[in-house]
Amino acid sequence: MTACITGATAGIGLAFAEALAAEGHDLVVVARDELRLTTLAHRLGTEHGIAVEVLPADLATEAGCAAVMDRLRTTAGSVDVLVNNAGFGLNQDFVGGSLAQEERLLDVLVRATLRLTHAALPGMVDRGRGTVINVSSIAGWVPMGSYAAAKSWVTTFTEGLAAELHGTGVNATAVCPGYTPTEFHDRAAIDMAFLPDWAWIDAQRVAAEGLRAARARRPVVVPSKRYAALALATQYAPRPVIRLAGRVVATSRAARR
């Protein structure tokens, strides 16, 4: 079995890559930094005796997406597990912020997820087996900028896919983590010093609970009981309360810039 993980060099994607490698899957690892990919491939190949293909690609670009789509359509060494994980955050107001950055965000979080899934699924359905895991976020339930809106799309898209795939042997799962200590916040220059230690959930746990949920064919999972409870609250609390929560988070982030 071969698994393709986007954003496999760091954080949550790296945790998925390590967990799938430990189970004996061959891997196709995708990210932009080729040196990091090659180092990872060598390490996982040596530690687990698996084959690891390195596929450097910028998923914000046409050429990068097309290269990964081509690999997902290949029948030799067919991909049975696709983890759409690559992503980043923005630390800017929408008004007056960089439009190019907003568009890159949508390209990576939404457009690449859509296109890679579209490339992978026909083969999986023909073979009668396969799994798509889309890494979304708990932020998708709270209105607070374009990142949250994009993650809302990822979760809803995945739930719809799971319904469409029912009975095919293929399943789709949206994994919605809370705050996870990765390179994500540093890359976006988001100061997280205010967050207490107990509020972080580690990437290995996110990947383990994500894989468990996918195997149980659950369309959505929120790793950890505390974040699952928070997600439930955001889904059932009156919408004005959730809008207020979104405003408080956005205002506090702006104050920390």
Q: Is 147 a catalytic residue?
A: yes
Spell out the residues 6+ positions from residue 248 whose beta carbon is closer than 8 angstroms to its own: none
Q: Which stretch binds ligand NAP (CB under 6 A): 31-39, 118-126, 226-234, 247-255?
A: 31-39
DSSP string, 3-18: EEEETTTSHHHHHHHH
Distance CA 40, CA 197 (A): 28
120: phi then psi, degrees, rounded to nearest 5: -80, -35
Spell out the residues 6+ positions from residue 151 whose beta carbon is closer than 8 angstroms to its own: 109, 136, 137, 139, 140, 176
Nearer to ligand NAP, 7 or 219 (CB): 7
256: phi then psi, degrees, rounded to nearest 5: -90, 0
- Residues 190-229 contacting ligand NAP, CB under 6 A: none
Spell out the residues 6+ positions from residue 97 whose beta carbon is closer than 8 angstroms to its own: 90
Site string for ligand NAP, 78-117 (x = CB under 6 A): -------xxxx-------------------x---------
In the complex, what is the shortest distance from the CB of residue 80 to ligand NAP, in angstroms, rounded to a whole number?
A: 21
Nearer to ligand NAP, 179 or 218 (CB): 179
Work out whether 184 is an interface residue with ligand NAP (CB under 6 A). Answer: yes
Angle, in degrees to the nearest 10, between helices 11-22 and 203-215: 60
Distance CA 160, CA 48 (A): 35
Site string for ligand NAP, 133-172 (x = CB under 6 A): --x-x-----------------------------------
Distance CA 67, CA 174 (A): 24
Nearer to ligand NAP, 73 or 88 (CB): 88
Question: How is residue 230 written in tokens?
Answer: 């928070």
Site string for ligand NAP, 10-29 (x = CB under 6 A): xxxx----------------
Nearer to ligand NAP, 59 or 81 (CB): 59
Q: Which residues are catalytic?
A: 147
Residues lying near ligand NAP in the complex (CB under 6 A) are found at: 6-13, 31-33, 36, 57-60, 85-88, 108, 135, 137, 177, 179-180, 182-184, 187
